[in-house]
Amino acid sequence: MSRLLDDRVFNKETLLDSTVNLVPFFILLFFLVLFVVATPEGWQDGSYYSIYMITMIISMIWGLLHLTYATAKRV
């Protein structure tokens, strides 16, 4: 952790600025868990809709993490 804080990309100020993106991250994570756990017909059936929905949520999570890192790197 100290290596992460010593790096120029992630200093204290940048970490504080990046915590704003934790709210949408946890919202997306909540919907992913909700979709996997509370889907009445089940996501294991392999239907295209289930695969598409899980792929969309995971790609948004990955995009948010990538955008947060790129923004922190530029700031």
Q: What is the pLDDT of residues 36-72, one digit of tens each?
A: 887 766 666 667 877 888 899 999 999 999 998 888 8
Residue 40: the pLDDT is 66
Query: What are the extents of the domains in the chain?
Result: 2-74
- Bin 74: left if φ > 0, else alpha if -120 < ψ < 50, else beta: alpha
Residue 7: the pLDDT is 56
Give the confidence band of 3 by pLDDT, cuts at 50, 70, 90: low
What is the value of pTM for the model shown? 0.72
Please check whether residue 53 is in contact with residue 24, taking contact to mean a CB–CB distance below 8 angstroms: no
Average pLDDT over residues 17-25: 87
The alpha-carbon radius of gyration of the chain (Å, integer) is 16
Please check whether residue 58 is in contact with residue 32, taking contact to mean a CB–CB distance below 8 angstroms: yes
Please check whether residue 65 is in contact with residue 25, taking contact to mean a CB–CB distance below 8 angstroms: yes
